[in-house]
Structure formats: C-alpha cells, structure tokens
Amino acid sequence: MNLFRLFGDLSHLASIIILLQKIRSTRSCRGISFKTQALYATVFITRYLDLFYDWVSLYNFTMKVFFIASSCYILYLMRYKYRPTHDPSIDTFRVEYLLGPSAVLALLFHYRFTVPEVFWSFSIFLEAVAILPQLFMLQRTGEAETITTHYLAALGAYRALYIPNWIYRYFTEDMVDPIAVTAGIVQTALYLDFFYVYFTKVLQGQKFELPA
Amino acid sequence: SLFAPAKDEL
C-alpha cells in the first residue's frame, strides 16, 4: 500500500458518500445515471468473486464488501425509493455497446482462462467505460447540480490517483499489471473534459454548465 | 516477473 492508492481509495469512498448525501439531501436522484450505477454494481460483483476464497487483508475485505453493498443500495434507492425522480428519457446511452466489447476484451486479455479471472478482466474493462452513460447524460442536459459534480470529481480523482500508484509500484516493487494500467489510463482520460469544466467553473464558484 | 496481476488493488 502506498499513499497514492490509499488516497485514491479514500476518494472512491468519499465519492459514494457524496452521492448518498446528494440523494438524501435533495430527496432525488435527478441528474444521476441509473445505467452508470447499474454498471458499477456489475463491476464490483464480477470483480470481487474472490471475496470468499482469497484473503488479502482486512482493509481489502472491508472495502470490497462496502463497494458491493453501497452500489446495490444506490440501485435500490434509484429503482424504488426515489424512482419518480429518475427520468429514463435522458438516460439513453446504450449499455450493450459497453458490455459487449468488455466481454470480448475479457475473453482476449486475462491472466488465466478461468471463470473468476475472465470476470475479473471483464470488470476492469467495464469499469473503464462505466462512467460514459453518466457523462453522456451530463452532455445532454448541459448542466449539473454542484453536489453531483463533486461526486464525479471524487470518482475521477480516485482513478487519477491510481496512475502515480502504478508508477510508484513499478519502481518499488518492479511490478506492472498491464490490464489494470491500460484500462485505468483510458478511464482517467474520459474524465479530462469533465475536470476542465469542474476546475474552471465549479471550483470558481460558478454553476456547472456546458457551452450550448 | 515484471507483468503480474495486482490483485491486492481494489
């Protein structure tokens, strides 16, 4: 464990708490893509299949349980408790375009050809693009509540911090995970546009609005 | 080896 990864994970944790706070405080899941949240639940469930037979550490175990539980809880909130506040007509990204290629890539690139390992690869590729329905929705509506942008910024920071973590591990442990690194770089790149608007507008006290 | 899965990551 190094500080980049620790702060990355804490940023991931913070993003989920911010999202729950957004839903609770506005009593609404307006502006949040159900599709992206469903993809994250899929990512965590398919990645953490090793939860019950591969012990890494208490930290690792606790985080995995938290990510699975919180992603399922968010789906419950969106699907049942705050269902009327979700507008499916603006959440229209075709998730087949993400699920299909991720499955193909997982069949081509994996560390061992076993069910959990192929699912693990699938989850890595899917996580890289799971934010796209959310960013697509943002692009469509052209604006976002400030708290929603904080959620996205914390999620993007988590991904960005994993990059120095990998560089650090390369020098200290002489180790590179090519699947995680490639997918991670793609995933971080997807946030660049968002970060630009976040830094130039939201952090200057303005509303998140995209140029028409 | 240099290339290995980082399974301790989340």
Amino acid of residue A155? L
Quick check: is A97 in a domain? yes
Whole-number percent of chain B with pLDDT over 90:
40
Average pLDDT, chain A: 97
Quick check: is A111 in a domain? yes
- Domain range for A99: 3-205
Please state, as a whole number, how many other Cβ atoms lie within 10 Å of the Cβ of residue A184: 21
* List of E strands, A54-110: none
Quick check: is A69 in a domain? yes
Least CB–CB distance from B3: residue in A120, A165, A176: A176
**Model pLDDT, residue A206:** 96
Whole-number percent of chain A with pLDDT over 90:
99
Quick check: is A84 in a domain? yes
**A56·B7 Cβ contact <8 A:** yes
> What average pLDDT does this structure show over B1-10?
89
**Model pLDDT, residue A130:** 98
What angle (nearest 5°) sits at the alpha carbon of residue A174, between those of residues A170 and A176?
55
**A176·B7 Cβ contact <8 A:** no
How close A162 gets to chain B, by Cα (Å)? 9
- Number of domains comprising chain A: 1
Quick check: is A15 in a domain? yes
How close B3 gets to chain A, by Cα (Å)? 5
> What average pLDDT does this structure show over A160-181?
97
Q: Rounded distance, CA A79 to CA A176, Å?
A: 39
Amino acid of residue A152? L
> What average pLDDT does this structure show over A98-111?
98
**Model pLDDT, residue A149:** 98
Quick check: is A121 in a domain? yes
Q: Taking 90 as the threshold, does the pLDDT of residue B7 lie above it?
A: no
Quick check: is A99 in a domain? yes
In this structure, are residues A4 and A168 in contact, taking their beta carbons and an 8 Å threshold? yes
Residues of B in contact with A175 (CB under 8 A): 2, 4, 6
- Touching check for A193 and chain B: CB below 8 Å? no
Q: Taking 80 as the threshold, does the pLDDT of residue A6 lie above it?
A: yes
In this structure, are residues B4 and A177 in contact, taking their beta carbons and an 8 Å threshold? yes
Q: Taking 80 as the threshold, does the pLDDT of residue A202 lie above it?
A: yes
Contacts of A98 (CB under 8 A, 6+ apart): A39, A126, A129, A130, A132
Quick check: is A210 in a domain? no
> What average pLDDT does this structure show over A67-75?
98
**Model pLDDT, residue B2:** 87
